[in-house]
Structure 1
Amino acid sequence: MEIKRQLMVHNMLPEGSDALTINSGTTHHSKQKTATVNYKGVKFTPEFIPQAYVNKKDWRQLTAKELACLAPNEDRNDFNTIYLGEIPEALQACFETLHLVESTNRDEVFDRLEKDPPAIQKATELLNEFLLPKSNSKKFNFHCIGVNHPNLELVASNTTMLAVGHKESVRKLLGLHNDGTQLMTIKTAHEFGNRISINLGKDPRYFLFVNLHLMEAYKMLQERMSADEFMAVNITNIPAYFFSHFPDYPVLKVQQKQYQYYIAATDNCFHDGSTLGNKNLDITMVYFGSFQY
C-alpha cells in the first residue's frame, strides 16, 4: 500500500533522507518473534498488551516518490509535520559534562542529574533559548527524562498501575499507539500541541510513526468497516482497529543519533520508539509544547 500525502517531514538532520526507512506494514505482536533483552545480568523477552500491533521488520530506503509525499510545504504546523534535527553544539557540550551515557540504570541517570545543579541550570537555560523560537505559544514545559533498556522492539508502556521500583520485565508494551487521553477525542487530538524528544543516550534510537492524521485513519476505517462496528471506534482502541483493517499501510522509521531530536504531535498519529539492536541504556529528554519552524 502506498503512503498518503498526510503528515509531512521537515528534516534538518545531517544524514538527510538516509535517516529514514520504510516498511510494508504491521502485524499483531503474537505473529512476530520478539527480541530478547539481555542487559547487565537482566534477561527477559518483553510482553505486549493483548491488542498490540507491531511494525514488520522489512525496512528499506524510501523512493523518490515516497520522499516527495513527505516533503514539507509552507502550510506546515505543529500537528501536520514531523520535525527532525540536532540540538545546538553548546547544549550538546553542556550535556557532555553530566556524563549521562556512563549510566547503567535509571537510578544512575537521576543521580548524575541531581549531583550537578549548575549544569542542569545551564542546560535548562540553553534549552529555553533553543525552544523559544520554535514555540508558537511561547509556552512549553518539561515532561520527563525517559530511560529504557537496550534492544527493545518498541518502548512505550503504561506504568501508572505498576509499583515504584518495578522490574522492567513486568511492563506490558503498548505496540504502535497514539497518546490520546480522556481529555480529547479523535476529532480534537490535533489541538493538543506536540512534543520534542531528544536522544541523550550513547546509541542511536528510533522513532517509528505512521504518516496519517488520526482523523484520516478514522475516515479510512469508516470506509472499510460496517456501520455497527465503526460505532465502537474511539481514541483508545483506534490503533487496534486500524492495524487490523490496514496491515499493509507502511510504517516509517527515523534513526536518532545522540543529541538528535524529533518533534511530533504524538496525540495525533500512531507511533512508538525503539532501541532494537542497542547495547547501552536509552536516555531521552521530553518537552511538551506547540513547536514548529
Structure 2
Amino acid sequence: MGTIENGIKIQCAGNLLDRTEISAGTERALGYSPAGIPFRTGAYKPKKPWRQLTDREAEVLMLKNKTNHTDYSSTVTILSLPEILKDKLSQLELHRVLSKYYFTKYYSKRESDFQNATRLLHLYFSSFNVSEREILASFFAVNNPNLETTTKYFEGRQYVGLHIDNWENATIEGAHLAQNRVCINLGLQTRYLLFVNQPLNNIKSRIVEKEGDFHLENTQWHLGQRFFKHYQSYPVVKIAIHPFEAYIAPTENMLHDGSTIQATKPDITFTLRGYFSV
C-alpha cells in the first residue's frame, strides 16, 4: 500500500474524512469508457479499491497554519457558494438538462440568463483573485454520468485519464506560477476531484531518482506517464464536490481529473481561471 506524503494540501470547511477517500494506487486505463469512447494509449486512472483516510493521512493532507492568503500553487480549496448565488443559479433550471446534446440547445434558448450567471460568478470569484491579471477562460461544460474520469482530448475522441492542464504552455519548472482553476458543480449530484498531492517539481524529482534524468522533451504528458510507471502504488485522492460547491486547484501543477462515478444525471460545471486564494 502506498503512503501519502507531504505535498499539496486541502482546505475545506467541515471534516475532511467525511468527503475524502484514497485509492490503492494507479493503473493503466484500457479499452473504452461507459460512454463508448476509448482511453488514450498510455492513460492512467486510480486503482480500486477506494478507502477512507486514516487520521495520519488526514493530518498530512489538511492545510494547517492558514495565512491571509493560501499558496494558490499548492492548495486545493473546497468552498460552498453563498445562498444568494445558489438562488440565482437555481433559476437556470439546470435540472431540465438531460444530456450534453440538449445543453447546447438549452443554452441557446436561454443565452442571456447564462450570460448573467457568468457575470455573477465572475463578480463573486473576483474577490478571491490576488492578481491584477483578469479572470480567464470561463465556460460551462457537461459530462456524462458514472465516469471514472471525465477529461477528453483530441476533440472529444479519447479520454486521457489523470493528466496535467497546460493552458498557459508552462514549463514543468514554471508550472507553480500558472493560474489555478475554479470548477463549480452546477449539477444535481456529487462529482469528484481526483488528484495526486505532489506538485510537478516533486514529481520530476522522483522520476530523476529512478531514471537519473528526465528527458522526453519535458512534456507534461510524459511526466505523468513516467511517474505512474515508477510509482503505481502512490495513492490518488478523491474528494467530493457537492452541488453548488466549487474547488479551487492548481490544475497546471498537479496530476488530476474529474469523476462522475455513481452519478445518474448529467454533470454540469462552470470553470474560471485566475490567481485565486481564499
TM-score greater than 0.5 by the shorter chain: yes
The within-5 A match list for 1:58-137 is 58-72=49-63, 73-74=65-66, 76-116=70-110, 119-137=113-131
1:96-119: CA deviation from partner (whole Å, max 9, x where unpaired) = 111112211224324333434553
State whether structure 2 residue 215 is matched by structure 1 residue 231: yes
Q: Determine if contact 1:35/1:151 at 8 Å carries over to the other structure.
A: no
Aligned residue pairs total 272
Q: In the alignment, does 2:163 pair up with 1:211? A: no
- Which one of the candidate residues 246, 251, 262 is aligned to 1:261? 246
Distance 2:60 2:5 in 1: 7
Distance 1:21 1:145 in 2: 27
Question: Residue 249 of structure 1 aligns with which residue?
Answer: 234
- CA offsets, 1:180-218, max 9 Å, x none? 257211101111110100011112111100000001000
CA contact (8 A) 2:16 2:62 kept: no
CA positional deviation for 1:288: 0.6
1:202 matched residue in structure 2? 188
Cα deviation for residue 84 of structure 1 reads 0.5
- The match for 2:25 is 25
Listed as ranges, the gaps of 5+ residues in structure 1 are: 38-43, 163-170
Relative to 1, partners in 2 of residues 1:74 and 1:288: Cα closer, same or farther, differing over 3 Å? same
Q: Distance in 1 between matches of 2:104 and 2:83?
A: 23
TM-score, with structure 2 as normaliser: 0.90
1:155 to 150, 153, 171: 150
Cα distance in 1 for partners of 2:21, 2:102 equals: 33
- Answering whether residue 270 of structure 2 is matched by residue 285 of structure 1, we say yes
Structure 2 partner of 1:143: 138
Paired position in structure 1 for 2:38? 47
The structural deviation recorded for 1:124 is 3.3
Q: Decide whether the 8 Å contact of 2:130 with 2:277 is kept in 1.
A: yes
Range 110-119 or range 192-201, more displaced: 110-119
The 3 A distance-change label for structure 1 pair 144 and 124 is closer
Alignment counterpart, residue 185 of structure 1, candidates 171, 180, 184: 171
For structure 2, the residue ranges without an aligned partner over 5 or more in a row are: none
Q: CA deviation at 1:129?
A: 3.5
Q: Is the 8 A contact 1:78 1:291 kept in 2?
A: yes
Summarize deviations over 1:128-152 as a string: whole Å, max 9, x none: 3421221111521343211111111
Supply the AA of the counterpart residue of 2:269. T
Higher deviation after alignment, 196-205 or 173-182: 173-182
Say if 1:88 and 1:182 are closer, same or farther in 2 by CA, change over 3 A: closer
Is 1:207–1:274's contact at 8 Å kept on the other side of the alignment? Answer: yes
Closer, same or farther: CA 85–181 of 1 in aligned 2, 3 Å = closer
Deviations 1:219-261 (A, max 9, x none): 011011144xx32253231111100110011100011111111
